[in-house]
Amino acid sequence: MIDAATRLKGVEQLIDMKQYFVIYAARQSGKTTYLQDLTKRLNAGEKYYALYCLLESVQGVVEPERGIPAIISCIKESFLDINIIPQGDKFAQTADLTDYISVLKASLSRMCTLLDKPLIILFDEADCLSEGTLISFLRQLRNGYNSRSFSPFVHSVALVGMRNIRDYKTRIRPDSESLGSASPFNIIAEVFTLQNFTKEEIIQLYQQHTDTTGQIFEEEAIELGWEQTQGQPWLVNAIAYEVIMQKLQSDYSKPVTAELVAEAIQTIILNRPTHIDSLLERLKEERVRRIIEPMILGNDFIKRDSDDFLYTRDLGLIRVVHSRIEPANPIYAEVIIRKLSSNTQETLQGSEYPYRMPRYLKDFSLHQRLRNVSLERSLSKAFVPFCFSVI
Q: What is the pLDDT of residue 149?
A: 87
Q: What is the pLDDT of residue 64?
A: 95
pLDDT beyond 80 at 236: yes
Q: What is the pLDDT of residue 55?
A: 95
- Provide the greatest CA pair distance for the chain: 78
Over residues 137-160, the mean pLDDT reads: 92
Kindly state the DSSP code that residue 256 receives in the 8-state scheme. Answer: B
Over residues 365-389, the mean pLDDT reads: 44
Q: What is the pLDDT of residue 39?
A: 94
Range with lowest mean pLDDT among 5-14, 115-124, 198-207, 328-337: 5-14
**Average of per-residue pLDDT values in the chain:** 82
Range with lowest mean pLDDT among 166-170, 225-229, 275-279, 289-293: 166-170
Bridge partners (DSSP) listed for residue 124? 54, 160
pLDDT beyond 60 at 300: yes
CA 218 → CA 2, 201, 215, 260, 321, distances in Å?
20, 16, 10, 11, 27
pLDDT beyond 60 at 368: no
What predicted TM-score, i.e. pTM, was given to this entire model? Answer: 0.68
pLDDT beyond 80 at 171: no
Calpha distance 368→298 (Å, rounded):
12
Over residues 217-224, the mean pLDDT reads: 96
**Residue with the larger pLDDT of the pair 307 and 4:** 307
CA 286 → CA 292, 295, 391, distances in Å?
10, 14, 11
pLDDT beyond 50 at 198: yes
Spatial CA neighbour of 221 closest among 369, 205, 213: 205
Calpha distance 343→305 (Å, rounded):
34
pLDDT beyond 60 at 356: no
- Which fold does the domain 4-193 belong to in CATH? Rossmann fold (3.40.50)
Q: What is the pLDDT of residue 345?
A: 52
Reported as type and span, the H/E element at residue 51 is strand 49-54
**Confidence band, pLDDT 50/70/90 cuts, at residue 346:** low
**Confidence band, pLDDT 50/70/90 cuts, at residue 244:** very high
What digits encode the pLDDT tens for the residues 248-285? 999 999 999 999 999 999 999 988 888 888 888 888 88
Q: What is the pLDDT of residue 336?
A: 87
Q: Are 317 and 282 in contact (CB under 8 A)?
A: yes
pLDDT beyond 50 at 362: no
% of the chain exceeding 70 in pLDDT: 78
Calpha distance 221→213 (Å, rounded):
17
What digits encode the pLDDT tens for the residues 157-166? 999 988 776 6
Q: What is the DSSP string of 290-339?
A: HHHHHHHHT-----TTSHHHHHHHHTTSEEEETTEEEESSHHHHHHHHHH
**Confidence band, pLDDT 50/70/90 cuts, at residue 172:** low
